[in-house]
């Protein structure tokens, strides 16, 4: 089969000066990557296919690929293929100067201070699936057949409200289905009027930051905590106040002991059902303390229940929001973990008095849409497919987690699994303090294994070292082989210099 990339390379090879074929192919590939003709993050053809297309030997292609890999242009990912690296050796985002366009003084890449701040904190890679990418479900299990049938049926008679702009915070049917689901499965106090459908948790938090905070207000965020929260809040001018977590969740000051000078935050952002990334469950005593503190200080609690459905072994942890009927809590939920992140559907549950205002603000700022998808999801929930899918995935992830725990215990020892929670889509491989987990994760990424360094989740200096390993996408029978590059790489780092 002929491909556009094959045509481009064949043409450039025919123009290249004489010389060893693998060197010419290397030059042509390198130039195409540097110019952006082959985009960063894109997948290259398998060596066998490219060799066939260019009518050269496979060894010629392999030699060019290997050279580019050793120079940091390409990386291989186990079971997925060869990819152009996100960050090329000579193109480092932070160092890029605004480029004046030829013949004019207009700076096409001069960003606002806020824009620069967004990019300075950015961590999103082009490839976000596979071993051992944390926080990502096994998207290949999504029951598309059922989804498609529902969608086809509904699309034959779409109500006009679902085809026009939405000013009601999403489709009524989805709000109703969700309210019923959340009351039963997550013990929430809610009715459908309180539910606002959003396009991902980041968007929900952006709305909260804009509507409930002014620039300069403070937010307590968990330390360590989710980078996404930090970025969205900081870009909205909110001061980040990192607050340490222990095995009971966020550590809080005693309300009675608060002095007049204590700076109280506008938002208190927590992950009480499964602290991200360490995994603690917030104790009942801490939950009550948090609600009392929020009520007395006029702070909003933002409860991020990102993966509350996935607890293995013991029973689900009820949401904090459900603890008291008038709790000053805004509950955030997402379908990114239970269905798939590309769906971009999430929701917030807000106290009744705030709901209409937030819905109006949502349509002013973002305008709701995707009516057909929302109606399909409502029916998918109502017919019981959602609960069944979550149940199936919970069993699957439980087995995959157990397999990874077993592999780590056998190959490294249980000391590398300190303080684990039996929940979620990732676990923490605990590392000794002297290990540079950032360097280790970068090295693994070069070898096609995606992990995240635990120290990067801390905003302030002192941090625990470790790797977040997402097991959701790795089949049990492949766990040992997939973990092997991690073990090998770690053994090298553990050896005394
Ligand atoms: C702690 C935490 N909260 C929320 C989310 C979900 O974000 P979204 O709904 O935008 O996919 C994630 C995703 O990785 C997460 O790790």
Range(s) of the domain holding residue 430: 388-494
Please report the pLDDT score of residue 94 as a whole number. Answer: 44
Burial 145-163 (b: 16+ CB within 10 A, else e): ebbeebbeebeeeeeeebe
Would you state the pLDDT for residue 92?
42
For residue 88, the model assigns a pLDDT of 80
Please provide the DSSP assignment of 283-318 as one string.
Answer: PHHHHHHHHHHHHHHTPEEEEE-SSTT-B-SSPPPP
Range with the largest mean pLDDT of 81-95, 197-211, 317-331, 462-476: 197-211
State the pLDDT at residue 109: 65
Cβ–ligand 1 contact at 202 (below 6 Å): yes
**What's residue 497's pLDDT?**
64
Is 487 exposed, middle or buried, given 0-12, 13-18 or 19+ CB atoms closer than 10 A? middle
| CA 155/CA 415 separation, integer angstroms | 54
User: 63 lies in a domain?
Assistant: yes
**Residue 9 shares a structural domain with residue 59:** yes
Residue 473 lies in a domain: yes
What does the pLDDT average to over 257-269?
78
Atom of ligand 1 nearest to the CA of 225: 1
d(CA 479, CA 404): 6
- Side-chain-side CA neighbours of residue 307 (13 Å): 29
What pLDDT was estimated at residue 117? 78
Give the integer Cα–Cα distance in Å for 176 and 158.
18
Of 45-49, 190-194, 333-337, 410-414, the one with minimum mean pLDDT is 45-49
Confidence check: pLDDT of 412 > 80: yes
Q: Are residues 198 and 278 located together in one domain of the fold?
A: yes
CATH number, position 405: 3.90.1150.10
Residues in the chain: 497
Q: Would you say the CB of residue 306 lies under 6 angstroms from ligand 1?
A: yes
Q: Do 355 and 440 belong together in one domain?
A: no
Q: Identify whether residues 64 and 180 lie together within a single domain.
A: no
37 vs 221, higher pLDDT: 221
Pocket lining: 276 vs ligand 1, CB cutoff 6 Å = yes
pLDDT over 90 for what percent of the chain? Answer: 64
Compute the average pLDDT of residues 445-471. Answer: 90
Distance CA 127, CA 118 (A): 19
State mean pLDDT over 46-54: 90
93 — pLDDT class (breaks 50, 70, 90): very low
Do residues 270 and 381 share a domain? yes
To the nearest whole number, what is the mean pLDDT of the chain?
Answer: 89
In this prediction, residue 10 carries a pLDDT of 87
For residue 336 and ligand 1, the question of a CB distance below 6 A is answered with: yes
Does residue 11 register a pLDDT over 60?
yes
Contact 123, 227 (CB under 8 A): yes
The pLDDT of residue 8 is above 90: no
Question: What's the pTM?
Answer: 0.81
Atom of ligand 1 nearest to the CA of 346: 9
Residues 167 and 197 in one domain: yes
Does 425 map to a domain? yes
Answer with the residue of higher pLDDT: 314 or 480: 480
Residue 466 in tokens: 């470790």
Is residue 115 assigned to a domain? Answer: no
Give yes or no: residues 409 and 375 share one domain.
Answer: no
13 assigned to some structural domain: yes
Residue 322 lies inside a defined structural domain of this protein: yes
Tell me, yes or no, whether 422 and 433 share the same domain.
yes
459-473 pLDDT tens trace: 987 789 999 999 999
Question: Residue 156, SS3?
Answer: coil
- Contact between residue 438 and residue 453 where contact means Cβ atoms under 8 Å apart: yes
61, 76, 95 — which closes off a domain? Answer: 95
Pocket test for ligand 1, best of 123, 334, 343, 457 (most atoms within 8 A of CB): 334
Cα(227) to ligand 1 centroid in Å equals 10
- Which range, 97-111, 124-138, 164-178, is most confident? 164-178
CA–CA separation, 473 and 426 (whole Å):
10
| Residue 344, domain CATH | 3.40.640.10
pLDDT, residue 103, reads 55
Q: Is the predicted pLDDT of residue 100 greater than 60, yes or no?
A: no
Residues paired with residue 219 on neighbouring β-strands, in sequence order: 240, 267
Q: What is the pLDDT of residues 320-345, one digit of tens each?
A: 999 998 889 999 999 999 999 999 99
Q: Which residue has the higher pLDDT, 335 or 34?
A: 335
Q: For the domain that residue 78 is a member of, what is the CATH number?
A: 1.10.10.10
198 CA → ligand 1 middle, Å: 13
Look at the alpha carbons of 162, 167, 171, 173 in this order and tell me if their dihedral is positive or negative.
negative
One domain, residues 421 and 378: no
- Based on the domain organization, do 248 and 220 belong to the same domain? yes
Q: Per mean pLDDT, which range of 100-109, 160-169, 458-467 is the poorest?
A: 100-109
Q: In terms of Cα–Cα distance, which of 169, 160, 191 is closest to 360? A: 169
Does the C-beta of 470 come closer than 6 Å to ligand 1? Answer: no
List the beta bridge partners of residue 43.
83
Distance, CA of 365 to CA of 369 (rounded, Å): 12
pLDDT-derived band at 137 (thresholds 50, 70, 90) equals very high
Task: Report the pLDDT value the prediction gives residue 13, as an integer from 0 to 100.
Answer: 87
Question: Are the C-beta atoms of 276 and 421 separated by less than 8 Å?
Answer: no
Residue 116 included in any domain: no
Q: What is the mean pLDDT of residues 421-450?
A: 92
Report if residue 135 sits inside a domain.
no
Q: What is the pLDDT of residue 106?
A: 62
What integer is the mean pLDDT of 357-368?
Answer: 94
Last residue of a domain, which of 95, 124, 149?
95
Is there a single domain that holds both residue 340 and residue 426? no
Of 95, 128, 152, which residue is a domain's last? 95
If one counts the domains in the chain, the total is: 3
Residue 394 shares a structural domain with residue 464 = yes
Residue with tokens 């996408």: 473
């Amino acid at each position: 089969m002929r491909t556009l990339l094959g045509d481009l390379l064949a043409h450039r090879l025919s123009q290249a000066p004489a010389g060893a074929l693998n060197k010419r192919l290397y030059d042509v590939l390198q130039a195409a990557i540097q110019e952006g003709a082959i985009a960063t993050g894109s997948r290259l053809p398998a060596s066998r296919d490219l060799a066939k297309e260019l009518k050269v030997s496979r060894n010629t292609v392999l030699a060019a690929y290997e050279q580019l890999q050793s120079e940091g242009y390409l990386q291989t990912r186990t079971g997925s293929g060869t990819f152009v690296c996100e960050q090329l050796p000579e193109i480092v985002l932070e160092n890029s100067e605004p480029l004046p366009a030829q013949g004019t003084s207009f700076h096409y890449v001069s960003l606002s201070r806020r824009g620069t701040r967004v990019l300075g904190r950015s961590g999103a890679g082009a490839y976000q699936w596979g071993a051992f990418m944390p926080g990502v479900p096994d998207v290949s299990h999504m029951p598309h057949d059922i989804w498609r049938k529902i969608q086809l049926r509904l699309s034959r008679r779409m109500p006009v409200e679902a085809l026009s702009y939405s000013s009601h915070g999403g489709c009524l049917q989805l709000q109703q289905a969700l309210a019923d689901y959340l009351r039963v499965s997550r013990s929430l106090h809610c009715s459908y009027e309180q539910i606002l459908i959003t396009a991902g948790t980041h968007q929900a938090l952006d709305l909260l930051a804009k509507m409930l905070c002014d620039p300069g207000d403070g937010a307590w965020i968990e330390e360590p905590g989710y980078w996404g929260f930090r970025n969205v809040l900081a870009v909205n001018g909110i001061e980040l106040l990192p607050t340490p977590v222990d095995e009971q969740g966020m550590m809080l000051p005693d309300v009675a002991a608060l002095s007049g000078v204590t700076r109280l935050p506008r938002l208190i952002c927590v992950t009480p059902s499964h602290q991200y990334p360490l995994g603690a469950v917030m104790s009942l005593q801490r939950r009550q303390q948090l609600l009392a503190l929020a009520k007395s200080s006029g702070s909003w609690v933002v409860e991020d229940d990102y993966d509350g459905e996935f607890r293995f072994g013991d029973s689900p942890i009820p949401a904090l929001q459900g603890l008291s009927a008038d709790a000053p809590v805004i509950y955030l939920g997402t379908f990114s973990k239970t269905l798939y992140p590309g769906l971009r559907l999430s929701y917030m549950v807000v106290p009744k008095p705030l709901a209409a205002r937030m819905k109006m603000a949502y349509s002013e700022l973002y305008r709701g849409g995707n009516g057909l998808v929302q109606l399909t999801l409502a029916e998918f929930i109502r017919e019981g497919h959602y609960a069944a899918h979550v149940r199936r995935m919970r069993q699957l992830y439980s087995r995959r987690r157990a397999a990874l725990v077993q592999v780590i215990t056998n190959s490294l020892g249980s000391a590398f699994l300190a303080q684990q929670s039996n929940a979620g889509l990732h676990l923490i491989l605990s590392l000794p303090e002297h290990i540079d987990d950032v360097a280790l994760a970068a090295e693994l990424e070069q070898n096609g294994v995606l992990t995240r360094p635990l120290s990067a989740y801390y905003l302030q200096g002192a941090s625990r070292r470790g790797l977040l390993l997402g097991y959701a996408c790795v089949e049990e029978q492949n766990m040992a082989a997939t973990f092997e590059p991690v073990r090998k790489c770690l053994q090298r780092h553990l050896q005394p210099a």
